[in-house]
Each structure stands twice: as structure tokens, then as C-alpha cells.
Amino acid sequence: MDIFTIAMWVITLIFLIISFIKNKSETKGAFKKALGMGKGMAKSLIFVILLIGLILAYIPPESIASFVASQNLFVSTVGSALFGTITLIPAFIAFPLVGTLVDASVSMVPAVAFLTTLTMVGIVTFPLEKKTFGMKFTVTRNALSFVFAIVIALFMGVIL
Amino acid sequence: MNIKNKLKKNVFTLVVVLLYAFTFIYKSDIGVLALSNSIYYFKELLSIMPVVLVLTALLDFWVPKRVIQDNLGKDARGKGMFFSFLLGGISAGPIYAAFPITVMLLKKGASIRNVIIILSSWAVIKVPMLVNEVKFLGPEFMIVRWILTVIAIIIFSYIGARIVKKEDIVFENEKFVEEIFDEEIFINCSACMGCSLCTKTYPSLFEMYNKKAYVKQYDIDDIDSTKLNDAIDNCPTKAIKHKEQ
């Protein structure tokens, strides 16, 4: 666990204790709500995770590096952005990977596009997001994030 | 019909199960790899989701609606955007961990724009990530990317909020929001026209803020059902809803 996750646990536990002292019955109620929310999300999340695991097994993140190196700038940028949308990769794998992408490619544009869509756009989390916010919100947010991921990448290429 | 509905609801689950079945039949080594990949994500899920859910429920109970509306609502403008970036930026966990907390904030009066800012910054510019980024890609890369991403989020959250209205979300998943948060008494903000009749009928339960009525913090055992029913009946737009147990 990184320090921020630990901090969140500590803050929440303190908050929970204070809340419990102040209002016992409502805190219990809040706890029940949390449990209910967890149940509501649990099934979707488990299958989302299994799908991510499967995708990463078929397309190992390393294969994206060789793809980027062998294509022209346009194809590799859109390609790596698309690859980034499919899955979620933890930061500690993503950054070294993006590092190798920057080295492998003539430009850093594909690497940045990949990094942004990787975390911000999610095909696998789409069903869950749709369930939470509805279709219109989910499509709009993901589409905008995808377009702007490429815009950010292009600007990065110009500046650096 | 019933089976068809069930199938439709579980199509995602079914697809994943089938994919795994095929993988294990034809390429069992990849199946094993897939499962071991998944374990990392399960650990991540367990390290963050319980705390996010408890925090969401606690904030839902203790933070009054108008505080959220004031600081993350449409009229909060710059201040609201600042808090949204801050909230997303100091968080932990993947983007799906942000869903419960943002939908709670949305329900309590945060604007669509700020919800998009929280989700996006939660995903891509949070501080734990930046530390890693400096390590592998250098400080210059990190700073330029950070600034560009913040600008991009400011722009596309504006566009997003122009396209999606709050009613779209409420309309599409009111059932889900109610199920999850299980509010006994709630006011449909888009229907309320601010006549303040309910606050006159039952002043200790309802209050006016920014020309809209809100439900105050209450203990369900102290509710005076006669007064509450009066308020519900008096409301000209029928915006007050009471879910009886």
C-alpha cells in the first residue's frame, strides 16, 4: 500500500470512531449503506478485474513497446491510445513501460497518449461507470478523455 | 422473457466466463497467467474499496447538502474546480474507486463539471502517480504533462457539462442512486421551485438554501409523520419523496 492509501485508511478510521461516539445508530446505518454499496459493485468489479487479467495475459504490456517502435507516428499514437483505453495498468508498471516507450519511439507522443488513456479512459470499467452515471455521461466522458489524451500528447511532442 | 432479461443483465459476466473457458481449454498457460494477473488487481481492490465505501457513507451522513452545493456546486466556480482537483489529486486507487464517492457528491449537489474534474484528476494526475512519474520519466516530463493535463481537464469538463445535464444522470439511474443511498426522505431538486411551503409546514426538517428546499439532518425515529405528510401534500410540484419502510 502506498502512503496515500494508508492515509485514507487512517483518516477514515478516525472519522469512523468520532462518528460512532457522536451518533451510534446513524454510524451503524452508514456502515450498512457502505456494505450495501459494496455488494452492489462487487460482482461487476470482480468480472472487470478478471477481464483485465485476461487482456494483459493475451497482450502483455511489453508488446506495445515493440508495436510503437515499428510504426509511423500517426499509427503508433492512435494505436497506443487505443491500447491504453482497453485496460488499466497500475502506475508502477505503467511508468517504467512508458519510459521504455519513450526510448523505443522516435517521438514521445505515442507514449503520452498511452499514459493518459490508460488511466482516464476505460473500456473494461465502462459497464460499471454506465451503471453508476448512465450511458450519456459515460460515453461523453470517455470520448472527451480520449480526444484530449491525443491533444495532450501532441502538445507534449511540440514542447519537449 | 424473464430469462432473456436475466441474460441481458449478465451479458458482461457471461462473456468473461466464456473467454476464460476458451482460454483454459486451448491455452491453459495463458489462463493461469490471466488469473495470476488478476490477483494483483484484487489486492488493489481490497486495499482501497472498503475504505472508499465507508468514507462515502460517512460523508453522506455528516456533510450537509448545502456544504457540498456551496463548494462543489455550479455556483462555486473557481473554488469548486480547485476543490475538485484537490480531491482527485490526493486520492488513492484506480478510477473505479472514485465512482461511489462522486455519485454521492453529485447527488448532494456537486456539478457535472466538478464530477468530471474529480474523476479525471483521480485517474491521471494524482500525487502518488506523479512521484513515480518523476522517477521514471524525469521532472521536466512530469511538470509539462501535469500542466497540459490540468488545462485539458478544465476544457473538456466544460464541454462535458454542456453535453450532459444532471437530469440525464438522474433520469437514467434514479433507481440505482436510490437503491445505493437508500434515502428515506428526499427532494427532487430539479422539480423544487423554491416556494418554501415545506419549510413553513415542517421547519425542523426542511430548510431553504439558494432558492431550493433541502432536507436537514434528521433521525428517522424523530420524524413527525403528520407534518411530513402535510409537507408532501402541500408541495405544489410534488418534489418531496418519502420512502416508507
- Say what the ipTM of the complex is: 0.89
Same domain, A141 and A65: yes
Query: Which of A:97-116 have CB within 8 Å of B?
Result: 98-99, 102, 108, 112, 115-116
Among A68, A97, A95, A63, which residue's Cα sits nearest to residue A81?
Answer: A68
B58 CB neighbours in chain A (<8 A) are: 12, 15-16, 19, 27, 30
What pLDDT does residue B1 have? 53
How big is the CA angle at B83 (ends B168 and A130), to the nearest 5 degrees?
30
Percent of chain B surpassing pLDDT 90: 27
Interface test with chain A among B24, B44, B53, by most A beta carbons within 10 Å: B53
Rounded Cα distance between A80 and B230, Å, is 60
Same domain, A38 and A66: no
What pLDDT does residue A135 have? 87
Instruction: State the smallest CA–CA distance between residue B230 and chain A in angstroms.
Output: 26
For chain A, the domain total comes to 2
pLDDT at B160 over 90: yes
Q: At what angle do helices A24-58 and B98-107 cross, to 10 degrees?
A: 130
Residue B171 in any domain: the answer is: no
Higher pLDDT, residue A106 or B231: B231
Same domain, A33 and A77: no
Residue A50 in any domain: the answer is: no
Report which secondary-structure segment, H or E, holds B209: strand B206-209
Report the 10 Å Cβ neighbour count for B104: 22
Full domain range(s) for residue B12: 3-53
Q: Average pLDDT for residues B182-200, to the nearest whole number?
A: 78
Rounded Cα distance between B227 and B203, Å, is 10
Interface test with chain B among A35, A43, A50, by most B beta carbons within 10 Å: A50
Same domain, A30 and A64: no
Residue B197 in any domain: the answer is: yes
Q: Are the Cβ atoms of A50 and B132 closer than 8 angstroms?
A: no
Rounded Cα distance between B239 and B168, Å, is 17
Same domain, B73 and B21: no
Residue B200 in any domain: the answer is: yes
Task: Tell me the CATH number at B204.
Answer: 3.30.70.20
Cβ pair A158, A122 in contact under 8 A: no
Q: CB-side exposure of B153: number of CA atoms within 13 Å?
A: 30
Q: What is the pLDDT of residues A5-50, one digit of tens each?
A: 888 899 999 999 999 999 888 888 888 888 888 887 888 889 888 9
Q: Are the Cβ atoms of B128 and A4 closer than 8 angstroms?
A: yes
Full domain range(s) for residue A153: 59-159
SS3 state at B65: helix
| B148 → closest Cβ in A3, A58, A155 | A155
Q: Are the Cβ atoms of A26 and B12 closer than 8 angstroms?
A: no
Cβ pair B232, B205 in contact under 8 A: no
Same domain, A71 and A107: yes
Same domain, A87 and A145: yes
Rounded Cα distance between B104 and A41, Å, is 14
Same domain, B42 and B84: no
Same domain, B229 and B204: yes
Q: Does residue A145 belong to the interface with chain B, where contact is any CB pair within 8 Å?
A: yes
Same domain, B156 and B104: yes
Residue A17 in any domain: the answer is: yes
Same domain, A76 and A154: yes
Instruction: State the smallest CA–CA distance between residue B173 and chain A in angstroms.
Output: 6
- pTM of structure: 0.80
Residue A119 in any domain: the answer is: yes
| B30 → closest Cβ in A48, A57, A127 | A57
Same domain, A80 and A147: yes
Rounded Cα distance between B44 and B35, Å, is 14
Q: Does residue A88 belong to the interface with chain B, where contact is any CB pair within 8 Å?
A: yes
Interface test with chain A among B42, B45, B96, by most A beta carbons within 10 Å: B96
pLDDT at B156 over 90: yes
pLDDT at A84 over 50: yes
What pLDDT does residue A15 have? 92
pLDDT at B18 over 60: yes
Residue B169 in any domain: the answer is: no
Average pLDDT of every residue of chain B: 84
Q: How big is the A-B interface in CB pairs under 8 Å?
A: 233
What pLDDT does residue B178 have? 53
B176 CB neighbours in chain A (<8 A) are: 40, 131-132
Higher pLDDT, residue B217 or B187: B187
pLDDT at B245 over 50: no
Percent of chain A surpassing pLDDT 70: 96
For chain B, the domain total comes to 3
Q: Average pLDDT for residues B196-221, to the nearest whole number?
A: 81
Same domain, B72 and B155: yes
